[in-house]
A and B are shown apart, each in its own frame.
Chain A
């Protein structure tokens, strides 16, 4: 045991945390030196956040925390009273959470939030605190601190408020900073800036514990990586070593699941379904996806465009009456059997575009045509009959289901039949169709009687896909379909979409903020910014040689594994 050397800012040996009878963290050991960044990586439920909170004594009122050794700055914090903990929190250890919009009190100016640590732990007067707040805001790179201190978190941009949150956590220059998913809610370009700031804080001598679900993100700044799975630390080592040559199977699965820089058609999930084994993936799968043999022969060689956006524009009225142009003269064409990836940061107009394509919103100008026929210009009555041909998959699968319906009812409804019929009165042929649908998305018959809340995130999104497939669509419009999923589940869903596309000759619009995902799934790409398509073209070309400065900036910011 060499963990009591003075350089260690934090030493944890055999940490155990449980709620009730359930152990959540089952014996975790690590240490962090000053000036070092350790990343704990794991999927949801792996126990990484609970581990982080235990280090602040904030695991929760009904948590049982035990450890052989738990030392902050060489002093044990095991069995501290609540008062003693309070004296250390903020002073000896700082915490940065995800999404400062809600992690800073939305009703208080950020200056007050940042000054709180100073008020609680120092004897500084109000004027001295105000000066220190300005210095801190300057140190975290927030422009014009004097005007920003008065603002609420909701009045700042995502990056600005995350900087303010970091300023609040480092106000007293704590030797240890814990950052729990600090960039998860941010756009990639902003994420890169926040990671640079954390790296800067590390260089200045602070020990940084970075908690993340994203291996690629942590690879940018972490010196060492610890992988957590099911409450245990399954692998620890230098970042290049863990990511380059993962030893544990779960780590290998997580590394394989990262979609960025994996050619189109490469399988991301290591577990393969039996029917996949029969159709091995060829190396050049872009060709494969395009050369899918379609079972219906209505395709004429000339018209391979199945969906077309022509000069689409849509504006919204802001609360103050001015108009906001959400989508501005957007045009693209989706080729049969291919995937068009639409990528952009928040506010770029991606989701409005998806709604226009689904004709859930009427465009102000321009038109959407489906199979060469008017779509946005058609009456809803005409469109309703054609709607099964255009399926939709949403980010929030849970929110897109009626919570009182079980899976059988959701899918029966999607088949165009009355969902009210209970299971025992359902016609045998309906049940057979439901089972076929479930089989296609890799779900067992047992989920039929479950309600959405009783399903895991991955299962929900599979049901969402099954629902979209029920109408036997030729076009699928996917709006951030994997954004709320763990990487390994994301990998399975992306593989599933890829299989379905090949088997059914589906044409996909794939909307995402995640360039890595878009790069992996797309044949063609459209990069959106502030409502406009700034660049479009074959995915390989756009990623290899982006033309527009914004695309260059966006691509540079994508977290990748070290080569």
Chain B
């Protein structure tokens, strides 16, 4: 447990450091960004004042350490562009994105399980169809899928809103956009491990006891088959958050993704770092959750 905590702190430090230096590589003057962005006509005096106030005139190392110090106390700083504290700003946006990602992950699992269970039991044609669907789904880019879904469900059928409204209906298309490619990916893993599990001796033993195919699937095979996919779900969650940048932009949905995109465009360094830090924390928590889920499914890991 101590090692795990140490690892988490290390990841956060690394994320903070990489982001801090990466953002400095963007050309341009940060003081300019504070005073309204690249287009504004700020006077040299104003720029100098901002530099002193924000510490831009100090050596990079001093700025870096100051930044780490602030982060360590939980202070994410103030947005240059919005002139608000970054913490509350980012936390406000977190809920929507996490909801999107969690729903997408859950839907992807459901689709992948259904497809894997159907395609491993339905003979060779089902297996071919299943694996074909998975490959196509896994290969779909988010931006294309999102626009296609909008064309079909909003423009042709007119059943769902093209932009993300407040109600549940507004969530459907964004969630589908994120879930379908992930379902294809998880489905490939699930189907392969399910086939291996169905061939294993304990399944033969279960059948020899008179277990039905459904019983074989639910009491034995799916449990084994889900292990590799569960381990990958932590990673999948991370990829869903980055997918949210595209999806939130297309569906005009407020959230971390859009906040991040705006902040990068405006060179709003504290917001960028804030979003990245929050996402890193969410990712670490998700990894801990998948570890716990793996232990729940696989008692061999609990025995020590």
Which A residues contact B (CB, under 8 angstroms)? 53, 56, 58, 86-91, 93-95, 97-99, 102-109, 113, 116-117, 120-121, 152, 154-155, 165, 168-169, 171, 319-320
User: Are the CB atoms of A89 and B300 closer together than 8 Å?
Assistant: no
User: Are the CB atoms of A117 and B298 closer together than 8 Å?
Assistant: no
B302: shortest Cβ distance to chain A, in Å? 10
Which B residues contact A (CB, under 8 angstroms)? 200-202, 204-212, 215, 219-220, 223-224, 297-300, 303-304
Q: In the assembled complex, which residues on chain A have CB atoms less than 8 Å from the CB atom of B303?
A: 152, 154-155
Total A-B contacts with CB atoms under 8 angstroms apart: 81
Given contacts A102-B201, A121-B210, A152-B299, 14 further A-B pairs with CB under 8 A are A56-B208, A86-B211, A89-B209, A90-B208, A91-B210, A97-B201, A97-B205, A98-B201, A104-B202, A105-B205, A105-B206, A116-B211, A117-B210, A320-B304
User: Are the CB atoms of A168 and B205 closer together than 8 Å?
Assistant: yes
User: Are the CB atoms of A105 and B202 closer together than 8 Å?
Assistant: yes
12 contacts between A and B (CB under 8 A): A58-B208, A86-B211, A90-B210, A95-B208, A104-B205, A105-B206, A106-B202, A107-B298, A113-B205, A152-B299, A165-B205, A169-B209
Please classify the interface of chain A as helix (H, G, I), strand (E, B), loop, or mixed, using the class held by over half of its residues: mixed
B86: shortest Cβ distance to chain A, in Å? 43
B122: shortest Cβ distance to chain A, in Å? 11
Which of chain B's residues has its CB closest to A121's CB? B210
Q: In the assembled complex, which residues on chain B have CB atoms less than 8 Å from the CB atom of A154?
A: 300, 303
A394 to B304, CA, bound (A): 33
Q: In the assembled complex, which residues on chain B have CB atoms less than 8 Å from the CB atom of A171?
A: 209
B52: shortest Cβ distance to chain A, in Å? 55
B32: shortest Cβ distance to chain A, in Å? 56
Which of chain A's residues has its CB closest to B224's CB? A107
Q: In the assembled complex, which residues on chain A have CB atoms less than 8 Å from the CB atom of B210?
A: 86-91, 117, 120-121
Q: In the assembled complex, which residues on chain B have CB atoms less than 8 Å from the CB atom of A91?
A: 210
User: Are the CB atoms of A120 and B211 closer together than 8 Å?
Assistant: yes
Q: Which of B220, B298, B299 has the most CB of A within 10 A?
A: B299
Q: Contacts A152-B303, A154-B300, A319-B304 hold; do A102 and B202 have CB atoms under 8 A apart?
A: yes
A286: shortest Cβ distance to chain B, in Å? 42
A222 to B209, CA, bound (A): 24
Q: In the assembled complex, which residues on chain B have CB atoms less than 8 Å from the CB atom of A104?
A: 202, 205
B220: shortest Cβ distance to chain A, in Å? 5
A89 to B223, CA, bound (A): 23
User: Are the CB atoms of A116 and B304 closer together than 8 Å?
Assistant: no
Q: Contacts A97-B204, A102-B200, A165-B205 hold; do A86 and B300 have CB atoms under 8 A apart?
A: no
A154 to B224, CA, bound (A): 15
A87 to B210, CA, bound (A): 6
Q: In the assembled complex, which residues on chain B have CB atoms less than 8 Å from the CB atom of A155?
A: 303
User: Are the CB atoms of A90 and B202 closer together than 8 Å?
Assistant: no
User: Are the CB atoms of A95 and B204 closer together than 8 Å?
Assistant: yes
Q: In the assembled complex, which residues on chain B have CB atoms less than 8 Å from the CB atom of A320?
A: 304
Q: In the assembled complex, which residues on chain A have CB atoms less than 8 Å from the CB atom of B206?
A: 105, 116
User: Are the CB atoms of A152 and B205 closer together than 8 Å?
Assistant: no
Q: In the assembled complex, which residues on chain A have CB atoms less than 8 Å from the CB atom of B209?
A: 89-90, 94, 116-117, 120, 168-169, 171
Which of chain A's residues has its CB closest to B208's CB? A95
Which of chain A's residues has its CB closest to B124's CB? A62
User: Are the CB atoms of B205 and A95 closer together than 8 Å?
Assistant: yes
Q: In the assembled complex, which residues on chain B have CB atoms less than 8 Å from the CB atom of A168?
A: 205, 209
Q: In the assembled complex, which residues on chain A have CB atoms less than 8 Å from the CB atom of B215?
A: 120
Q: In the assembled complex, which residues on chain A have CB atoms less than 8 Å from the CB atom of B205?
A: 95, 97, 103-105, 113, 165, 168
